[in-house]
């Protein structure tokens, strides 16, 4: 699955110059941290697997919710100073998100033997989850891309490409 260019711009540009968008990226970041924790805490048992599955669904839903909320389509402008401050905060959060996703993917890859040990569904569920991560992230494209400042568009594209690359790396490693 390849994320469209608009989608590549989405997540990073979505964190720019708009309070709703910055808060959405913070929620996605928190959901990523919780998903990562569920991976780290999982001992390979079914109960822990259910928690991990729930946290992965929470992450997917957080990403999807950011793009489907009515506020997502509205770009409220503040003063140039407010916009610049929010844009910087958004980039800071987006860079943090890239690191959190990388860590979660590393942990998911490290737990591959435990995932594969779950009869019948282990591998299928993990692959399905990573497909959904990428799909949910790509859905943000048309919503957040118009909010990018032209000066930081390349940086925004790079952030989202790195996020997509991490999800793709996880998918390939778990395949």
Global model pTM greater than 0.75: yes
Distance, in Å, from the CA atom of 130 to the CA atom of 35, rounded to the nearest integer, reads: 12
Higher pLDDT, 103 or 160: 103
Q: If DSSP codes are grouped into helix, strand and coil, which group holds residue 45?
A: coil
Write phi, then psi, for 77 (nearest 5 degrees): -95, 140
Give yes or no for residue 156 having a pLDDT over 60. Answer: yes
Higher pLDDT, 151 or 4: 151
C-alpha pair distances (Å), 59 with each of 115, 122, 157: 19, 19, 21
pLDDT of 89-143, one tens digit each?
888 998 999 999 999 999 999 999 998 888 877 888 888 999 998 888 776 655 5
C-alpha angle with apex 16: 131 to 133, nearest 5 degrees?
A: 5
Give the pLDDT of residue 113.
Answer: 92
CB-count exposure of residue 160 (10 Å: 0-12, 13-18, 19+): buried
Chain centroid to Cα 104, Å, comes to 11
Per-residue confidence band for 172, with pLDDT thresholds at 50, 70 and 90 = very high
Residue carrying structure tokens 């407010």: 82
Indicate the domain borders of the chain.
Answer: 5-174
Per-residue confidence band for 163, with pLDDT thresholds at 50, 70 and 90 = confident
Helix (H) or strand (E) holding 142: helix 141-144
Give the pLDDT of residue 15.
Answer: 41
Distance, in Å, from the CA atom of 162 to the CA atom of 167, rounded to the nearest integer, reads: 9
């Amino acid at each position: 699955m390849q994320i469209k260019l608009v989608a590549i711009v989405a997540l990073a540009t979505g964190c720019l110059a708009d309070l709703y968008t910055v808060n959405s990226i913070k929620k996605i970041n928190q959901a990523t941290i919780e998903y990562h924790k569920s991976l780290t805490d999982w001992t390979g048992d079914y109960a822990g697997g259910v928690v991990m599955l729930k946290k992965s669904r929470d992450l997917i839903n957080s990403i999807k919710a950011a793009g489907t909320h009515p506020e997502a389509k509205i770009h409220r402008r503040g003063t140039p100073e407010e916009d610049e401050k929010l844009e910087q905060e958004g980039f800071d959060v987006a860079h943090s998100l890239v690191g959190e996703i990388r860590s979660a993917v590393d942990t998911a890859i490290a737990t591959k033997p435990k995932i594969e040990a779950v009869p019948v569904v282990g591998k299928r569920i993990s692959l399905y989850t990573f497909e959904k991560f990428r799909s949910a992230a790509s859905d943000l494209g048309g919503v957040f891309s118009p909010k990018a400042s032209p000066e930081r568009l390349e940086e925004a594209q790079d952030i989202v490409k790195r996020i997509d690359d991490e999800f793709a790396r996880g998918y390939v490693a778990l395949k």
